[in-house]
Structure 1
């Protein structure tokens, strides 16, 4: 609880949860008839992931989900946001169905419901089936239809029991990390490819929303984006212009088409000759299919200066000396979450928002000798960000829930197992789970619905 004389109370019905992603926690990527994904391929390519780490075992969540759901229940979690591994249910990405994969996710959903925890399913969290990547992946114009077929399968299988769905998680990261800079799967580096992938991701989102409406599934569907407020390093014209480019590239590139049916004008400057001619009106209308909620993932901010050497935005972040930074070198800046949420409301109107990811990586030992494991920096950071969420609600933003990233320490993509975000510590040698102090602090907030 806060030191305030009166607790900061959240609205009745506010949803408290935690989040994971399939490749980061499941392990057993090829078990029971599953096909490989681009992340299985990428992590098995020497030099791509720190220390040669892979998701072959990860947190063994594929087999240990009953234990993990029991831990969720003990913390009082009301919802669990997780993703489906596309290639686990469609090994070739399309066509042949792997019933064992569908049955697995059906069991997970049933176990969550039996524990009183609402499933919140992400259809795509970066792990494209490798077979589809062999056909061009997000560069193939047919991928929106492939995604819609996959989404329809999942809606028909689980749509009677799952109240919340999202089409994509962080499409900006998929295009920027996977196609612009090559640091994430599939590892390409081309502005031309990044522009194509970004558009196809948006088309897939729109087709996914259409598929949801047509399927008759219950519940609601949304989109999850990562947003990072951009503040100019100075009031010079160059820094102000660079800040607009950075904000357009990261924050408006996906939200403007979804909510306004337009593209941020600065993107043509960012992409240069790689920026395409205006998109057909029917495609922009598809992207603008109405959604029920928006998911916002927030971790840090950027203070931006002009930098002609920083491709493609010609803008770079100025390190903030004296500020607390996480193990991922991200500045801890809770006010940025309030600013981001109010920016969304002011630019796109009042809409239901969920904080679908928010967390911090700080050092934890490989093995936990005590329960709970002290993690004061993570605990403090969690509290400060929840206070920032409350401030946004007080300012009139319609925030409906909060999901901590992450339930478990896990494979942090190209960082491998070197960064720990979990509320629950995972000893990777034994797969033992141990509660951190931040988990108990979060449980107390959930129980009180207040800080």
Structure 2
């Protein structure tokens, strides 16, 4: 694996989760989200599974925080559910929701674990989805207002705050490909969501700054693209993928501009006078988070924009069908540092793999995950040796959970969860990590 002593003394190791995936959204006065609606629509999620109960973290929080402590982790990246705090997205506050997150933060601090909060990890309140959700420009002020309410309660104890998790998934995956809530396949909705998710980020950064909050960042997900061949059309298709997946959000946040390919393709669908929002979108942040899992091989395909297709690659794959390619993590840490974020502190805020883990004799042998983590952590160390200011690494995920449109089938956790009994069983990777962090 690795040893903690291989890293600087102040390097942070953590694990990550998301509210809707673990808490149990049916509890504690939480309002309905567009993920409840998406999951209730036949064909979207296997067996109609949802986050209604999930891992029941709402009732098992103390046990789960003890697992974090037991692994020797320094920090916990968790998210708050907007609809748990504001059941309708605006207006009346759910006191039970704020109390829950208050107890969570205090529980982390009691265990000497640093709380790293993500304000939005995909669970748009249904009442706001009814108003257009990410297609509606007002979402920027809605998110900022929610953020200020939550941080007014928690901000004095939060180590670092991320505005939004994975801008690409919130916008493109959910509005163009239709794989996640709200499940749209609409190019105009996509263009507006891509712009508005950045505007909401910048507006929220400004609002939190005005409220005296610091250590604010953003988290983007990246996939390493490679062309299926040296043919010019495959190379161009790969560049298009790279721009709408990886470069669009980086460019908005750090350069206050969008890639020319994307403006040419989506410009007619952007909101009027979108350029005037770029100054807000580029509001300075204090740190940046990199989520990385895989590479994708891209080829040209006939048809409308983006005119590309994914080609199956030869590398070993995870349970998700994602190729294992740690070199991509090194690439994006270097790209962020060299081309966009400069000396800003970076964190690997998600990295991990799904595997079909089962309990046998009270244990879970997930040797492939141990190897995956070993190889990706080595790639991160290589980037650090080359001058990248990487200050932390967070494993996805602490525990098996509701994996969105894949339901409970895909297991990413260091801890196995039996979704019938909700029993937690630390896997071999958990024990390997514990030993590494003690070294």
TM-score range, shorter chain: over 0.9
Q: 1:334 aligns with which of 311, 326, 337?
A: 326
Residue 422 (structure 1) shift: 0.3
| Contact 1:371-1:435 within 8 A present in 2 as well | no
Residue 235 (structure 1) shift: 2.5
Partner of 1:286: 280
| Contact 1:371-1:436 within 8 A present in 2 as well | no
Partner of 1:168: 164
Partner of 1:89: 85
Residue 187 (structure 1) shift: 1.2
Whole-Å Cα distance in 1 between the matches of residues 331 and 313 of structure 2? 18
Q: Which moved more, 1:69-78 or 1:38-47?
A: 38-47
Does residue 1:320 correspond to 2:313, yes or no? yes
Partner of 1:425: 416
Whole-Å Cα distance in 1 between the matches of residues 363 and 351 of structure 2? 21
TM-score by length of 1: 0.94
SS of 2:293's equivalent? coil
* Alignment of structure 1 residues 148-159 onto 2, 5 Å: 148-159=144-155
Partner of 2:37: 41
Does residue 1:300 correspond to 2:294, yes or no? yes
Q: 1:354 aligns with which of 347, 351, 363?
A: 347
| Contact 1:176-1:194 within 8 A present in 2 as well | yes
Residue 69 (structure 1) shift: 0.3
Partner of 2:367: 376
Whole-Å Cα distance in 2 between the matches of residues 372 and 143 of structure 1? 45
| Contact 1:230-1:304 within 8 A present in 2 as well | yes
Partner of 1:439: 430
- The C-alpha deviation readout for 1:363-420, integer Å capped at 9, x for no partner, is 112xx23344111111111111111111111111111101100001001000001100
Q: 2:248 aligns with which of 243, 247, 253?
A: 253
TM-score by length of 2: 0.96
Whole-Å Cα distance in 2 between the matches of residues 158 and 410 of structure 1? 25
- The C-alpha deviation readout for 1:402-443, integer Å capped at 9, x for no partner, is 110000100100000110000000011111100111111112
Residue 11 (structure 1) shift: 1.7
Cα 1:228/1:278, change in 2 over 3 Å: farther
Partner of 1:13: 10
Residue 246 (structure 1) shift: 0.6
Whole-Å Cα distance in 2 between the matches of residues 372 and 382 of structure 1? 19
- The C-alpha deviation readout for 1:158-207, integer Å capped at 9, x for no partner, is 00111110000001111112211212111111010000011111111011
Partner of 1:139: 135
Cα 1:134/1:40, change in 2 over 3 Å: same
Residue 273 (structure 1) shift: 4.4
Q: Which moved more, 1:124-133 or 1:261-270?
A: 261-270
Cα 1:391/1:8, change in 2 over 3 Å: farther
Runs of 5+ unmatched residues, structure 1:
none
Residue 316 (structure 1) shift: 2.2
Whole-Å Cα distance in 2 between the matches of residues 277 and 306 of structure 1? 31
| Contact 2:316-2:323 within 8 A present in 1 as well | yes
Whole-Å Cα distance in 2 between the matches of residues 280 and 262 of structure 1? 8
Q: 1:108 aligns with which of 98, 104, 111?
A: 104
SS of 2:242's equivalent? helix
- The C-alpha deviation readout for 1:225-279, integer Å capped at 9, x for no partner, is 0011222233322122111101001001111011001100111344374356662
| Contact 1:69-1:111 within 8 A present in 2 as well | yes
